[in-house]
Structure 1
Amino acid sequence: MSYEVNLNFDLGGSVILMKKRLLTFMGIGLLVLGLSACGTGNKHTTTASDLPNSGKYEPTLFFHGWGSSYRAEKQMAQSLVNAGLTKTIVRATVSKHGKVALSGQFRKGDYHPIVEVGFEDNRNSNPRQWGRWAEATVIKLQQTYQMKKLNMVGHSMGNMAIMYYLLDNSHKLPKLQKQVDIAGHFNGILGMGDEPNQMTLQPNGKPKKMQADYKALLPLRQTYPKHQIAVLNIYGDKNDGSHSDGSVSNASSKSLRYLIAGRAKSYQERKIVGPNAQHSKLHDNAHVDKLLIDFLKN
């Protein structure tokens, strides 16, 4: 390819020499750019076609709480790596418009990778929107890896992402096998429609007073995938008389049972007690890590 350079002054033979040097310089520069472009275009990204037995991959997705990020998931994710459940951690960043960018990739033969999900619009207070972002994440992973099963772990608002995801997609997307809810505020938050020791549950787990978000989830009593999902519900009690983790009452966390009773494959509750059972400390709690490891391993 040739280029003509017009220098708007006349210096006799010097002009010809300068033209040649400039053309040589530009040619080298374009060659380097071309090679760089080829390297970028050929950068390898693992997809389902690169993974034998792609249907065997069952990732565990972590969803953080309101105002938080994927960093809140790092200890729990690392505890699974340390326990030998996986060697793979992938990050999924979700824009406020639902565009998902993956960082990292599934590895051949590592069938239980971790996906740390981060929502950029992390102060959005619409739980249904969080469910849409969870859906976008699952769709992106399904398109990339053609997975058929997955697990989900949520902390705080991350639990609402899971619940609203299930409300809208309980039968359409890859099967959810295991669901871990940590510090879930299914029927309200202290100071926002709930106060310590005010909310009460009936013997079947039904709240005597339901908040709007909880009422919106009631259809799950008929649509939650039947006998498919094993559920572990972890909540904190600071042991200070409030029967709460400082932000969410134990009754609000335990109200999950009524929403999925009779439909979950199994359901169990675990209470963490003491100062480290505070709401924002539960995702960095060694006892929670152990419960999570045992539940996912089994």
Structure 2
Amino acid sequence: MASIMSFLTACNVSSTGKDTAKKAKTAQIVKKPKFKDTPTLYFHGLMGSYKNEEPLVNAAKRAQKSNSIIRANVDDHGKVKLKGTIKKNAKNPIVEVNFKDNVQPNFSRNGTYASNVVKALQKKYYINKVNMVGYSLGNMAIMYYMIQNGNKKKMPKLVKQVSIAGHYDGAYFKELPPGFRQPKGLKLDKNGKPNKMNQTYKEMLAARPIYQKNKVKILNIYGDVGNNSDGVVEIPSALSLKYLTPNSDYHLAKFTGVKADHGGLPNNPKVIQKIIEFLW
């Protein structure tokens, strides 16, 4: 009996030692971010590029809100190449995301591209949180990033989200596939829930429990140039973001007049100032 007890004790000590070593090894893998401030990623729209993101980026630099800008080039296979380096003392670093495949109709694929960018930043800078700005199609990259990663503990958490001219329940063009088009007669209830949902919106309902669990601060920017739209996206489609993001700290910003149309919003000085105030 004594020999059995000695054997069990030895096994227990050995097992405990292995567990301790394993925990220590895991702790060594988790490294602190190389800079203090949260990086902000900007995703452009259909047929766009990083150049469409520069009005906001340049304004942030002029306002001395950021002193570190890099670019993340994503090829049509989803491979990411970071151009530039974020310094250790960087103030509110900004990442201009540039998709080579800028007409990708598979929104889930856009989410994968966004995920790959975040993973590349995480690998190089050990980031654990991000802000994201999306314009038009770029908003789909953010939503599908959340669907794919929002509940993964090892992936950086989304802290602040800016939506510019988002077409969450579609836009109405005859050229668009039916699954992407805005349903006719679209209306929202008091919670932002659409009375009709296209295929994409139904897919994005998977984001609701993720946002419910992971509170995100959101600024939803939309334009109104008449006829209940920004000229491309009808207001109910843009505002249907609210239903997809329960428990968020949700803010709306409506713009009218000059540069309130779909193409003008990202270049509108008032929009840019609103975003800067929200982010920093």
Query: TM-score when scaled to structure 1?
Result: 0.78
Aligned partner of residue 263 in structure 2, secondary structure: helix
What is aligned with 2:170?
188
What is aligned with 2:235?
250
Q: Distance in 2 between matches of 1:246 and 1:195?
A: 16
Q: 2:159 aligns with which of 161, 177, 180?
A: 177
- CA distance change for structure 1 residues 53 and 116 in 2, over 3 Å: closer, same or farther? closer
- CA distance change for structure 1 residues 86 and 209 in 2, over 3 Å: closer, same or farther? same
**Identical positions, percent:** 43
The CA deviation at 1:159 is 0.2
What is aligned with 1:20?
none
The CA deviation at 1:195 is 7.4
What is aligned with 1:201?
188
What is aligned with 1:212?
199
What is aligned with 1:152?
132
Q: Distance in 1 between matches of 2:215 and 2:94?
A: 21
Where does structure 2 lack aligned partners over 5 or more consecutive residues? 1-30
Q: For 1:56, give the aligned amino acid.
A: K
Deviation track 1:27-80 (CA, whole Å, cap 9, x = no partner) reads: xxxxxxxxxxxxxxxxxxxxxxxx996262411000000111111100011111
Q: How many residues align?
A: 242
What is aligned with 1:8?
none
Aligned partner of residue 169 in structure 2, secondary structure: coil
Q: Report if the CA contact (8 A) 1:236-1:273 is conserved.
A: yes
Structure 1: which 4+ aligned runs deviate by more than 6 Å?
none
Q: Distance in 1 between matches of 2:258 and 2:37?
A: 37
1:127 aligned onto 2:123? no
The CA deviation at 1:171 is 2.5
Cα RMSD after superposing both structures:
1.7
Where does structure 1 lack aligned partners over 5 or more consecutive residues? 1-50
1:228 aligned onto 2:210? no
Q: Distance in 1 between matches of 2:257 and 2:172?
A: 18
Q: For 1:164, give the aligned amino acid.
A: Y
Q: For 1:272, give the aligned amino acid.
A: F
Query: TM-score when scaled to structure 2?
Result: 0.83
Q: 1:88 aligns with which of 68, 86, 105?
A: 68
Q: Distance in 1 between matches of 2:231 and 2:183?
A: 10
- CA distance change for structure 1 residues 225 and 148 in 2, over 3 Å: closer, same or farther? farther
Compare CA radii of gyration and give the structure with the larger one. Answer: 1
Q: Distance in 2 between matches of 1:195 and 1:214?
A: 11
The CA deviation at 1:226 is 2.7
Aligned partner of residue 163 in structure 2, secondary structure: strand
